[in-house]
Structure 1
């Protein structure tokens, strides 16, 4: 069963359980999936890797929105947003711990032969491909700067 079908089934389960937060989050995910499937050139298909990227984007947007709500003094809206983010994160691969991320980045730096800040682009190119879905881009970038700095 692909991710699209799993989300569709989980929407039904959330409806039966009357879980409003989960239902709203999954409906939002399905809407984004449908838009991607019907986009020009998509041939009415959505591969799981593309679906995961879309879900990661939704998580990032949700976290950014929650941060904005907190800065605006609306913690109740931030909590609603984070509740939906947690629902979506359950479908994503487990994120690397800071220690695991550092170890993988040290390995990549050694393979690429990076020696300083000027080599950050080379390292980031490889790291973002290899660690896609396992760590946020911000975290990767910050750790690479720290290691090369």
Structure 2
């Protein structure tokens, strides 16, 4: 079942259950899907990888907003972002644990032959392609910095 069909079914359930926060997040996902499908150069269909990237982008936007709202002591807005983030994360594929990420990055570092922080670009290029959809870019970057010390 495609993400779009899942979202439509979830929107109906949220409407029937009168769940405002869930409905807000689901509508944001649906809007992003429609924009991606009708974007210039698009073929009107999204692959699973495209759907995953889309959901990650939405989750990242919520996390960034959440951080900003907390810095500005806007707890009312931060709560809304947290609610939406929780709903979006339900549709994201399972993310890698820290141990799994460390193992994968150690393998990539050995594969590229990186030995110092100067080689970070090489490692990041390969890592972001191989681990796309499985973990956040910030987590990859932080772990690579730690491993290349």
TM-score band, normalised by the shorter chain? over 0.9
Paired position in structure 1 for 2:11: 11
Paired position in structure 1 for 2:116: 116
Paired position in structure 1 for 2:131: 131
Cα distance between partner residues in 1 of 2:40 and 2:100: 39
Residue 119 of structure 1 deviates from its aligned partner by 1.3
Paired position in structure 2 for 1:80: 80
SS in 2 for 1:57: helix
When normalised by structure 1's length, the TM-score is 0.95
Unaligned runs of 5+ in 2: none
Aligned residues: 149
Q: After the TM superposition, which segments of 4 or more aligned residues of structure 1 sit over 4 Å from their partners?
A: none
Cα distance between partner residues in 1 of 2:82 and 2:110: 37
When normalised by structure 2's length, the TM-score is 0.95
Unaligned runs of 5+ in 1: none
Paired position in structure 1 for 2:38: 38
Cα distance between partner residues in 2 of 1:46 and 1:98: 29
Paired position in structure 1 for 2:89: 89
